[in-house]
Structures are given as structure tokens and as C-alpha cells.
Structure 1
Amino acid sequence: MTLSREKKYRIPRRSRGIGRVLPGLGFKISRLGIWKISGIILATLIIFLLFNLIKIKRVGCKSQFTKCNSAIINDLAHINDQNIINTYREVKNTIDDNILINSYYIHFDLRGDLIVYVNERIPEHCLNGSNETYYFDDDFLVLKISDGQGEKCVNNPNSSYEVGDHLENNDKFAHSLFSRIANITHIGSFKYEHNYLTVEYYEGIKLLFPLEGNSEVLSARVYYVVTQFDKIKRGLLEDGISKVSEIDFRYDGPVMRYQV
């Protein structure tokens, strides 16, 4: 007789943890989990209510120059006597719309002040139009416009910009070139003439440049010619050439025009 042995399987006990399957979610959550979630929701509501109760006494502004630009201060002056959430939202919207501000962060002071720390754009470069001067920053963004003509600016009577505009490529190039050679002794004003740029130089000599190109390469050529100019002039005098009228940098090699 052959005896067969049947394997017996132990049915696992039901977990002693009490839980329930949430409808539509397909997973079980314990009572402890429910309490945790409820606690988080309650804490969030309490924090939100507390922030709504905190009143901002003053909105301040500080920049890399210690004191903010008066235009920025005036924009923030009307924001006061509100809770921290509304104040923060209004300050952020105001700052985001201000073209003078490059970057910022907002800090809450426990004394009830909201301080805005800003990095201001600096309108340190200029371009003369027909009757006005456009001031712009390193990103070629126009920040200010004033009447009249500024000194040490590129002159382009055909330029026309509004605050918030970026300079066109030809004006960007002209300014970049001018800023590289402006410190050369006897360099004068930078002007547009027809389809090229001119710069007044020593003894009435005109330097001619294209409207586009590599400003770094062109400025290097200018510096070379300037440093060698006395030697060049002596050589020209020996050849019977009394005066150089133009030095043209629109070609691969500078071209000199002169009077005999």
C-alpha cells in the first residue's frame, strides 16, 4: 500500500492593523495615516491663517548702492497696511514690472517689515538720436531718455527707441567699437554717415568703419595704427605726402587717403 501525503498550507493571519481601502484609490490607509494627513492639512491651514493675520508695517528697499532708485521707492510707497500674503503678492507684481530691476529677493523682518533687496540695472552707456539721448545698460536695454545730446556717445540721428527697447544690431556694434577705442588720445565723436561710421581723430583725420563686423579685431587694428602713426607720418613726409585725410578700416588692411 502506498501512502500519499498531502501538503498542508497555512492560511496567513489577517494583519492586525486596522485599515480601509479608499474608494477609487486602490490602496489601504491606516488610521495612523489618516491622522497624519489630517495633521498636515490642519497645520497648513493654521499657518495660512496666521500669515493672513500678520500685518506689514512698512515695505523697505535696498540695492547694491545701499539706497534704491527713487523711482523704485515711489512704486513701492503705496503698498502698506496689508497682511503679509497680499503685501508679498503686490510687491512681487510691482517689482516684476519695473524695468530698472535686474534681479531681487524679498525678506520678511520679524518687526513687521518687508524688505526688498534689488540688483538695479545701470544706464551707464548712451546713444544720441536726432534730438534726444538714450541711456542703456550692458544688455543694451534702454532705461532712460533725455532731451538734448550727451557727450561721449555714438551719434545716430536715425535711431528712435522707447524705454524698454533693446538697441538694434548696428547701434550695438557701433557702441561696442566706440567703447573699445574711446580711451585713445584725440579720439572724438562717433557718427553715422551714409553706410559707414566715422570718428574724428588727430589733426582732423577721419577714421572710417563698417556698420557691422568684429569690434575686437577692428579696435586692435586701430590701436596698431595709432601706436605706429608717428613713424607712418615720417615715412609719408619723405615721400612728399603732407597730410593724411582718412584712414579707412572697412577693408582687411587699413587704407590711408592723403593730400599731396
Structure 2
Amino acid sequence: MKARFIKLVIAALLLLGIPGIFLSLPALVKVNHMDCKSQYGPCGAALEEKIKKSEGLSLRGAKGTLGSLLKNEVGIEDFSIQYKIPDRLVVDVILTKPKFALKKEGQPQFVLIDKEGIALRWEDSTNLPFIETDGGVPNVGEIAQSREIFALNLMYDVFSAYEIQMGKITDDSLVIDMEGGLTVLFPLEGDKDVLTGSLALILAKLKLHPQDSRINVREIDLRFKNPVLR
């Protein structure tokens, strides 16, 4: 009878104690390691640095800090935070998909831009169509200038049609070097579809003439009402 009573007491203590232990764990466990990944692979250096600042906090504190950070971080559509025994947090983020990129002349990095023109993040390289500019580029979270957005959308269409990845904004023009030594000049405003349609029509006509014909065009200037061939 006495042994049975002791077992009941122990069972009661365990039942009362275990929930308390679990409830207190988030405040007691210290997070010493952070892992961050996105749908594209490891998180970029800038985001990784921000996330690492939560190392050393309690599990509860780290989750709260990371949640606030990621909710307000530009370019993150969704995220999850998972605890791994004994002291690790794994952060999975879904990044907003960029459409193109901008690069300041003389600087190595690219700022990735979404379809709305918002600067998402910096990268050391890109496979996206991009424009190099001699002016400033937007900081993360800022919106590119209207002329830059117009030029980027033109560049995207040229990239899709002809696989030319890079263009350059010089003064009030978008300059794109095509294959075969041909240069195309676009304005930084107007009807994008009309401009790309005019380019396609001119290129199609030029292909009808051999290189040794009297037509030897090196530049297509679409900045005027009537295209100029030089």
C-alpha cells in the first residue's frame, strides 16, 4: 500500500512538473548557432549578418527578435523558424523574386529589383538582365527612378528576345550593344512595345541584306519619331 502511494505521488509530481519544464525551456535554452537558407540556397551575407545578431539570446528571445526582423525585412515574402536540439535555430525564408538588376558604374555589386521597381537586396553577381548607370542606384527598400524602371523593362524584353544581358544608361539614353557590333539607342520614356517592335522590324529587314551590301548599319537610334540608322 505504501509503495503504491509513493508511485502515485511521483506520478503526480511528474505530471505537474513536465508541463512546467516545457513552459520554461524557451527562457532557459540559449541559442548559440543560426542557420539561414532560402529557396535559392544559403541566405545572402547581409541577411545572414542580421540573423547572427540573435545568437546568444534565449530561445524565446531569439525567436521574438528574428520574427520582428523578418516581418519587416524588405524582399522576404514568408519565413519559418525551427528549433533544433540542443542550441540551434534554422531559419527558412522565401525571398521575393527579382526581375532585373541595376549596377552603378565602377562598383562591383548589383542591386536586385522586383517588377514594381523596389530594390530588394545586393548581390555580387547576377544572371538577370541588368543596366549599368553613371548615376546613383536605389538603396534596399527604395523605388528606382521612373526612367530606370522604364529602361529595365526595355532591357528585360531585349534580353528575352535576343539574350543580351547588359545595357547602359548614358545621359538620357539606354545604350545596348547587340551582336555583330550593332549598337541600339533607346529613349528613357515612351511606349515600350512600340520601341521593341520597331527594333524587331529593323533587325528583320537588315538580315535580308548580306554584310557586303551597300547597307552597313552599325547603330540604330530609336530616340526619334522615325528611327535613324547610321
Query: What TM-score, normalized to structure 1?
Result: 0.58
Correspondence 1:178 to 2:155: yes
CA distance in 2: counterparts of 1:57 and 1:107, whole angstroms: 14
1:79 to 49, 55, 64: 55
The correspondence of residues 47-126 of structure 1 with structure 2, limited to 5 A, is 51-54=23-26, 55-58=28-31, 60-65=35-40, 67-77=42-52, 78-80=54-56, 82-84=58-60, 86-99=61-74, 101-107=76-82, 114-121=89-96, 125-126=100-101
Name the amino acid aligned to 1:93: S
2:205 is the counterpart of 1:228: yes
- Whole-angstrom CA distance in 2 between matches of 1:199 and 1:113: 48
Q: How does 1:1-260 map to 2 (within 5 A)?
A: 51-54=23-26, 55-58=28-31, 60-65=35-40, 67-77=42-52, 78-80=54-56, 82-84=58-60, 86-99=61-74, 101-107=76-82, 114-121=89-96, 125-132=100-107, 133-139=109-115, 140=117, 141-144=119-122, 153-182=130-159, 190-231=167-208, 233=209, 237=213, 241-251=214-224, 255-258=227-230
Deviation digits for residues 77-97 of structure 1, max 9, x if unmatched? Answer: 33345253x332212123245
* Structure-2-length-normalised TM-score: 0.64
CA deviations on 1:167-225 (whole Å, 9 max, x unpaired) are 21111111111121135559585233433323233554432212123434432332232
RMSD: 4.1
Q: Could you tell me which runs of 5 or more consecutive residues in structure 2 were left unpaired when the two chains were aligned.
A: 1-18
- Give me the whole-angstrom Cα distance separating, in 1, the residues matched to 2:175 and 2:51: 45
> Do the aligned partners of 1:125 and 1:137 also contact (CA within 8 Å) in 2?
yes
Q: Distance in 2 between matches of 1:193 and 1:223?
A: 23
Distance 2:227 2:184 in 1: 10
Quote the Cα distance in structure 1 between the aligned partners of 2:140 and 2:150: 20
Q: Quick one: percent identity of the two aligned structures?
A: 19
